[in-house]
Structure 1
Amino acid sequence: MATNIKDKIAKLLALAESPNENEAKAALLKARELMAEHKLRPEEVVKADKVKVIREALDITCTAMTNPWAVSLSAIIAEHYCCRAYRTRAAGRKTNRIGLVGLEEDFEIAKRIFLYAYDCVMASIKANIKRDPEDLPGTYREKCNAYGWGFTRGVKQAFQEQEEQHQEWGLVMVVPKAVDDSMVDMGKRTSFGKERVGGWRDAYRAMGYQDGKRFDPASRLAGGTERAAIGG
């Protein structure tokens, strides 16, 4: 492999740290395109101390009954931005914390977008899902989860449509080997299973799914996020 190719990729990766978001993204995509073309991994292009994998448990919790959709949402968004998602919990506890793993430049983007997406779901739930005093116990939670599952499915569909329109992304939007290698100590990745929306099809299809398809990560890339919460 000619040294000048590696040098060019290294320069593009350096440019990807630019504060100009459009310039940084273009440089990163071009760098990954060249790496895919020449079958190079990031650690083969830059010095080992420049390849930094970040693993962080976020301030987002869920259980198999409360907000289980958050696990799938994190996995979908993480992979789309070249990262991996995981969940962790203390022994004997039912509450899970969601985390992300990725190269430093990818991790920050994936983290911001996931937190923003999660906040969008929670804010919409608070605004649009109403408690009915005549509902059976647990009904409100079921409605909220139906909306969350619908939003998650909508985001996944939107990403798939983007990838179909830009098939060249398949060469560059891949999870780096260094990320997967860093997770070997974490065992098999698990999930909370399939969507369960009960009879709340309106919350799932008419509300959550449509909102997920309209989700626009770019509208919040440059900003922070505010935590939102709902009652169980």
Structure 2
Amino acid sequence: MIKMNENIILRIKKLLALSESSNEHEAKVAMLKAQELLVKHKLSIKEIKEYKEINVIEEKTDITFRQARWKGRLASLITENFGCCHYYKTRYNHTIVFIGKDEDVEVCKIVLEYAIDSIESAVNRLRYQYRKEGYSTKGLENDYALGFIEGLDTAFERQNEENQEWGLVLKKDKEVVDYYNNINFTGTVYTNTNFQGFNEVYFKGVEDGENFSISDKIAGGEDEYSELKEIFSG
């Protein structure tokens, strides 16, 4: 593998990660851009898959939780679909930590942060509506988040079925799994949580999860998403 192609290879890998987006349009745009770069630089999928210059990193996020266990379940779903592993650093709260290739960790962080923002924004609107009508909102966040995660999982599964060849590129590398398995974990963090009875809220979450897209965030100009914008440019 020619050294000068390293940055291009990493860029294509990021695009392939984004091609697993639950949003059909977003996934197709990323896939087409990856294909364009493969042709332009005379690279093959085989070369991309066999590229072994793997830099595995461990990065602590700013996402913490104690009662909101759904955040841990959401992180688990995202890492499973973007080639990473995760665990929790625990003191007063549980902090989500990602392990993976640096480009995959970056994508996981962005997707997780935006998904949580989307969930919390929707929950705030729903709480306002329920309180306005005199209803309790205890457990509402939990049920909306569970629905959102279910919908996002369905969207990922559908995307993987439609793009099986590309999905193979995003499987966890042995180096990532080995790094994770060599961590000396202490204690257990439970992320199971029970449905609280907000049926309408739950199914609204399912619908929003199936339609979740990071396209607006990428196009929005936020500094923290400049790296993703760069992936699509050029």
Q: Same fold (TM over 0.5)?
A: yes
* Higher RCO, Cα 8 Å, sep 6+: 2
Q: Which residue is 1:53 aligned to? A: 56
- Match status 1:72 vs 2:73: yes
**Percentage of pairs with the same residue:** 25
Q: Which residue is 1:215 aligned to? A: 212
Q: Which residue is 2:46 aligned to? A: 34
The equivalent position to 1:142 in structure 2, one of 139, 144, 157, is 139
Could you report, residue by residue, the CA deviation over 1:2-31 in whole angstroms, capped at 9, with x for unpaired residues?
xxxxx16x6654303459965874569x97
Deviation at 1:126, TM superposition (A): 1.1
Q: Is the 8 A contact 1:59 1:97 kept in 2?
A: yes
Structure 1 counterpart of 2:82, one-letter code: Y
Deviation at 1:128, TM superposition (A): 1.8
**How do residues 152-231 of structure 1 correspond to structure 2 at under 5 angstroms?**
152-183=149-180, 184-187=182-185, 192-205=190-203, 207-221=204-218, 223-224=222-223
Give unpaired runs (5+ residues) of structure 1.
1-6, 227-232
Give unpaired runs (5+ residues) of structure 2.
16-29, 226-234
Kindly report structure 1 stretches of 4+ aligned residues shifted beyond 2 Å. Answer: 10-14, 16-28, 30-33, 129-135, 186-195, 217-226
Paired with 1:115 and 1:70, the residues of 2 have a C-alpha distance of: 10
Paired with 1:60 and 1:225, the residues of 2 have a C-alpha distance of: 15
Could you report, residue by residue, the CA deviation over 1:75-128 in whole angstroms, capped at 9, with x for unpaired residues?
1112211111222202xx3x2111211111111111111111111111111122
TM value normalised by structure 1? 0.72
Aligned pair count reads 200
Structure 2 counterpart of 1:210, one-letter code: E
User: 3-state DSSP class of the match of 1:140?
Assistant: coil
What is the Cα-based RMSD across aligned positions, in Å? 3.4
Deviation at 1:210, TM superposition (A): 0.7
TM value normalised by structure 2? 0.71
Paired with 1:214 and 1:224, the residues of 2 have a C-alpha distance of: 24
Query: Cα–Cα, structure 1 residues 224 and 154, in superposed 2: closer, same or farther, change >3 Å?
Result: farther
Normalized per residue, which structure has more helix?
2
